Amino acid sequence: MGQTTRVTEKGQATIPKELREKYDLEPGDEVLWLDTDEGIVVKKRTRTGGRGLLVPDDTPAATREAIGAELADRLRERRDRNYEE
């Protein structure tokens, strides 16, 4: 199913009613905007009890920070490559 909405001057976009109902999106729910090689993907943010999605909760803080820095570097490199194309 593909539907089109417009982005307002404030950068807001309306999620179509059918999709809000299908994915049980309520006012105040959070959505996650993911930048992928194919484009933007929007997902309903869910919480599963754990803080980390990439590493177990018992991972030391220094390791978490190193992983976060590495992922940020990779994202910057990918964006730079995309802007050069």
HEC per residue, 18-80: HHHHHCCCCCCCCEEEEEECCEEEEEECCCCCCCCCCCCCCCCHHHHHHHHHHHHHHHHHHHH
Model pTM?
Answer: 0.49
- Dihedral of the CA atoms 7, 9, 11, 14 (nearest 10)? -40
Positions in the chain whose pLDDT score sits under 70:
1, 47-54, 85
Instruction: Give per-residue pLDDT as tens, 5-24.
Output: 999 999 999 999 999 999 88
